[in-house]
Amino acid sequence: MSEEQVWNMEVRLARMEERQVQLYAMVERSLAFHGDVANRLGALEHLRTKVLAVAGVVGLACSMAWDVLKNRFNG
């Protein structure tokens, strides 16, 4: 191999290494984003459970209040 071929090979290997580093960085960002999304979804599901519980309690209170008012006015 000539010196120029060796130099070209070194340049190609350096570019391949740079691409590999970039790909690793992309994969790391993707995994971090996936983890962030999973955490946010978990928090939203927890919030949804709380909202449904509060809605159930409010619905029960309104239903009981309506029955009390209805009974009071009907005699």
> What are the tens digits of pLDDT across the range 40-74?
999 999 999 999 999 999 999 999 999 999 998 88
Q: d(Cα 59, Cα 13) in Å, to the nearest integer? A: 68
Residue 26 tokens, joined: 């992309």
Whole-prediction pTM:
0.55
> What are the tens digits of pLDDT across the range 23-36?
999 999 999 999 89
3-state secondary structure of 1: coil
Q: Please give the average per-residue pLDDT across 14-29, as a whole number.
A: 95
Burial of 23 (C-beta count, 10 Å sphere; 0-12/13-18/19+): exposed
Instruction: Report which residue type is found at 58.
Output: V
Q: d(Cα 8, Cα 25) in Å, to the nearest integer? A: 26
DSSP type of residue 54: H
